[in-house]
């Protein structure tokens, strides 16, 4: 299959926060900042990946070990794309902080190649290919972060086989504050944080999570921010993972005291994400209090205030 008349695209792909409380491996939100910028050029032979920017030294550029490279390889093989492909990833999303860094790169390549070669993939197919890229970083396909990076807003993965994903817009005044502690877990962070998740759960905890997950979607559809905050509570995964995040209880308490509607772990962590009503609360105060709580247990932290953002988009054709 040949490409369009242009020789490349530059794609902007947002960070994301998965799980959103009780929605483990199902819910995610796109973040307005930070972002990856990915330049995809049709030139040379084969697939080549180059990584620049934030944390670039932590990211492999070998095709089968890079999420973007895996996505490109799958699409080239399945659609017999007839061109060399060069991918330059300028990282803006930090690695290993629970902000969907690998997913942003994977989503950008799926989105960009779909545009370059006029593949006309629908949203579910795009998410499927991007999720396969996560095999490089997580060992298996994961659709939560990539769905948010691709589609924007709040996303829900109903099924993997077949892939079925839904996207919802959130209230404009839903503010987001993310505090990221400087904690190094090594190269196996994802495996470490998954290993503590219980394999069997009690019925009452299942009922708790189904109720809160359902209420979270209802809160978005009805624009009820108070209900959204109350529904972030997770009785299964977060209690296990919280033990791996120093100061978890203090950080959560500090954010709530500063006016947050609710607080949860962002993805696998160690970042923690607080939601607030931007018409009523200054998110900077929430972030400062969260960082002070991390500092009280011996860890420096930084925060960003943002909001739920759009998905991938083309910022340049060339």
DSSP class of 140? S
DSSP class of 308? B
The model's pTM: 0.95
Contacts of 111 (CB under 8 A, 6+ apart): 11, 13, 126, 130, 150, 311, 312, 314
Does the structure show a pLDDT above 70 at 3? Answer: no
2 and 82 Cβ atoms separated by less than 8 Å: yes
Confidence at residue 189, expressed as pLDDT on a 0 to 100 scale: 76
231 and 219 Cβ atoms separated by less than 8 Å: yes
Q: Which CATH class is domain 174-307?
A: alpha beta
Cα distances from 181 to residues 268, 276, 284, in angstroms, run: 13, 20, 16
What whole-number distance in Å separates Cα of residue 212 and Cα of residue 227?
9
Q: Which helix (H) or strand (E) holds 87?
A: strand 85-91
Q: Which CATH class is domain 8-168+309-317?
A: alpha beta
Question: Whats the size of the chain, residue-wise?
Answer: 318
Does the structure show a pLDDT above 70 at 2? Answer: no
From the candidates 86, 115, 132, 134, which is the catalytic residue? 134
What whole-number distance in Å separates Cα of residue 26 and Cα of residue 213?
10
Domain boundaries, the chain: 8-168+309-317, 174-307
Confidence at residue 54, expressed as pLDDT on a 0 to 100 scale: 96
pLDDT band at 171 (very low <50, low <70, confident <90, very high): very high
285 and 259 Cβ atoms separated by less than 8 Å: yes
Confidence at residue 1, expressed as pLDDT on a 0 to 100 scale: 62
From the candidates 190, 238, 264, 289, which is the catalytic residue? 190
Does the structure show a pLDDT above 70 at 221? Answer: yes
183 and 302 Cβ atoms separated by less than 8 Å: no
In the annotation, is 134 catalytic? yes
In the annotation, is 302 catalytic? no
Does the structure show a pLDDT above 80 at 5? Answer: no
């Amino acid at each position: 299959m040949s490409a369009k008349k242009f020789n490349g695209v530059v794609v902007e792909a947002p960070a994301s926060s998965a799980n959103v409380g009780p929605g483990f491996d199902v819910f995610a939100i796109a973040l307005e900042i930070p972002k990856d910028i990915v330049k995809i050029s049709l030139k040379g032979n084969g697939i080549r990946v180059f990584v620049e920017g934030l944390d670039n030294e932590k990211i492999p550029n070998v095709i089968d070990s890079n999420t973007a490279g895996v996505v490109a390889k799958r699409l080239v093989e399945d659609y017999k794309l007839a061109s060399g492909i060069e991918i330059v990833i300028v990282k803006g999303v930090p690695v290993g902080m629970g902000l969907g860094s690998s997913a942003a790169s994977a989503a950008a390549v799926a989105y960009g190649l779909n545009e370059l070669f006029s593949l006309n993939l629908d949203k579910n197919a795009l998410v499927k290919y991007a999720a396969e890229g996560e095999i490089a970083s997580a060992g298996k396909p994961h659709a939560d972060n990539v769905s948010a990076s691709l589609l924007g807003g709040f996303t829900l993965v109903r099924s993997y086989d077949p892939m079925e994903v839904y996207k919802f817009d959130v209230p404009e005044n839903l503010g987001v504050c993310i505090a990221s502690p400087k904690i190094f877990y090594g190269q196996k962070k994802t495996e470490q944080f998954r290993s503590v998740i219980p394999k069997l759960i009690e019925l009452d905890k299942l009922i708790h999570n189904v109720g809160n997950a359902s209420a979270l979607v209802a809160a978005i559809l009805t624009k009820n921010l108070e209900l959204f905050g109350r529904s972030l509570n997770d009785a299964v995964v977060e209690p296990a993972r919280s033990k791996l995040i120093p100061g978890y209880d203090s950080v959560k308490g500090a954010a709530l005291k500063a006016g947050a509607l609710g607080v949860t772990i962002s993805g696998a962590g160690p970042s923690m994400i607080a939601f607030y009503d931007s018409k009523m609360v200054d998110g900077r105060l929430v972030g400062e209090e969260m960082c002070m709580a991390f500092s009280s247990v011996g860890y420096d932290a930084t925060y960003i205030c943002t909001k739920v953002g759009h998905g991938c988009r083309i910022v340049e054709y060339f």
